[in-house]
Amino acid sequence: MPETFKNYIAGEWVEAASGETFENRNPARPSDLIGLFPRSGAEDVERAVRSARRGFEAWSRVPAPERGSIMRRAGDLMSERKEEIARAATREMGKVLLETRGDVQEGIDTAYYAGTEGRRLFGHVVPSELPDKWAMTYRRPIGVCGIITPFNFPMAIPTWKIFPALLCGNSVVFKPGEDVPHTATLFVEILLEAGVHPEAVQLVHGFGEEVGAPLVEHPDVPVISFTGSTETGRRIGEVCGRMHKRLSLEMGGKNAQIVMPDADLELALDGVLWGAFGTTGQRCTATSRLILHKDVDAAFVDRLVERASALRLGDGLEAETEVGPLINQAALDKVESYMQVARDEGWELLCGGARASGPGLDEGYFFQPTIFRGVQPGSRMACEEIFGPVLSIITVDDFDEAVRVNNEVRYGLSSAVYTNDVRLAFRAFQELDNGITYVNAPTIGAEAHLPFGGVKETGNGHREGGWEVYEFYSETKVCYLDYSGTLQRAQIDNY
């Protein structure tokens, strides 16, 4: 019998109101049933929000440094259980263990950052323009935050949202990606063991339309933080706009690595391989375009193809595996459908291009690392997010054209430039229209203590990570105290 998991609502582990469940299977071996999870709906969301409102009343009164100590304890517990969590995440999500260990480590780093922020949730004291009057600001919690996360970073992304939300004194209703409910369950166990108030955190498993949508539409949830596809984000944005909610959106990407002829080509090769095929291309920051200057040695592409073709596919839990499966059948079908797009558009296939087969690969959702050459800017392959191990090579005449090609897509998350020319490095920082630009490093590799997010249709102006996210999860309160004993009229009596 498979293990049956529960929601965490109103301080207890409970089934969905409907009693229904859904299956969580290993994408490397779908016959491996990890467990049954509650298939929740609007009724469960309603109970969770009601409880989270009570949780907010209690938790928001806990002093911020004490909330910070609890976040730090959560980081300690995650460190102790790092290997167990990483294995659970690889089993349900598929990426290799090396990467899920990094995913958990990012969560630990985020916990410790939140721990210190508890003693640093600064406001300002500002001189008043009037005598005998003080002016100051402080950061105030907001209320119940709805947290909706994707499958690809099952630990890091929930922690980016939930640690700062809780540190600021809010309560959360957490709706994890339906493909990764087990990692989410382990995270909530850790939060509770660390000492988060039992009604300040609620976990409601299930599908987007059935749990995510009622959470977004709930009038008592003033804050929504979403990471996922641009299409889903647009729908959520429409609802939140109508309801005047505070909303953070982190969405799709079509990231490029630019390689100039003066670059260290070995480094550029390592960068593009890791950027394009790490996490099987299922990162929002994955490299899906390689913008190659025409004078880059032709052997570069030959070496790239050779190394991409030699990547070892398999179960991410096995030590020798370098690339795991895609998340599910729908993802496999989507990536496969882009092979037809590339054929229709007429691009040259250099390697891959099909589902992978062979020992250990026939059952899971494996796709060969794939590279196309001669892809033209503006084409579907050059512009659309595929979210799989597919790289399109675009050749350009000079750096100006590389910048134009990088900037022509509707997304704007991450970019990378390989060059040893310091002038081009700084031009890249200035001219590439992305939230993050790397020089001589791949498009992936964000660090937890820096802001993270993208421009254009990748985001809506907010950032996760670092110090900026604390502004999203708190409201600035401005406080004036006039001890002059007279009516002092700003802008009038002093001019």
Pick the closer one to ligand NAD by CB: 151 or 366.
151
Active-site residue, from 92, 284, 457, 464? 284
Yes or no: say if 211 and 423 are a contact pair by the CB < 8 Å rule. Answer: no
Question: How far apart are CB 25 and ligand NAD at their closest, in Å?
Answer: 16
Please name the residue ranges forming H helices in 434-476. Answer: 469-472
Cα atoms in the Cβ-side hemisphere of radius 13 Å centred on 312: 12
- Count other C-beta atoms under 10 Å from residue 29's C-beta: 16
Pick the closer one to ligand NAD by CB: 190 or 327.
327
Pick the closer one to ligand NAD by CB: 150 or 352.
150
Pairing of strands 201-203, 171-175: parallel
For residue 322, what are the contacts with CB-CB under 8 A and spacing of at least 6?
Answer: 96, 277, 311, 312, 313
Please name the residue ranges forming H helices in 81-155. Answer: 82-93, 97-117
Question: How far apart are CB 80 and ligand NAD at their closest, in Å?
Answer: 26
Active-site residue, from 178, 210, 250, 464? 250
Question: How far apart are CB 455 and ligand NAD at their closest, in Å?
Answer: 11
State how far the Cα of 94 lies from the Cα of 180, in Å rounded to an integer. Answer: 10
Pick the closer one to ligand NAD by CB: 178 or 199.
178
User: Comparing C-alpha atoms, which of 87, 123, 130 is closest to residue 478?
Assistant: 123
Pick the closer one to ligand NAD by CB: 26 or 232.
232
Active-site residue, 284 included:
yes
Pick the closer one to ligand NAD by CB: 235 or 307.
235
Query: Dihedrals φ, ψ of 180, to 5°?
Result: -135, 50
Active-site residue, 217 included:
no
Distances (CA, A) of 484 to 130, 207, 402, 481: 9, 58, 62, 9
Cα atoms in the Cβ-side hemisphere of radius 13 Å centred on 283: 29
Sign of CA dihedral 270, 271, 273, 279: positive
State how far the Cα of 485 lies from the Cα of 430, in Å rounded to an integer. Answer: 52
Question: How far apart are CB 305 and ligand NAD at their closest, in Å?
Answer: 25
Question: How far apart are CB 228 and ligand NAD at their closest, in Å?
Answer: 3
Yes or no: say if 442 and 465 are a contact pair by the CB < 8 Å rule. Answer: no
Q: Which residues sit at the interface with ligand NAD, rule CB under 6 A?
A: 148-152, 175, 177-178, 207-209, 212-213, 216, 227-229, 232, 235-236, 250-253, 284, 385, 387, 413, 454, 458
Question: How far apart are CB 347 and ligand NAD at their closest, in Å?
Answer: 22
Cα atoms in the Cβ-side hemisphere of radius 13 Å centred on 324: 29
Residue labelled with tokens 């409601």: 204
Pick the closer one to ligand NAD by CB: 64 or 247.
247
Where are the strands (E) in 379-425, listed by range? Answer: 390-396, 411-412, 414-418
Question: How far apart are CB 452 and ligand NAD at their closest, in Å?
Answer: 7
Just list the catalytic residues.
250, 284
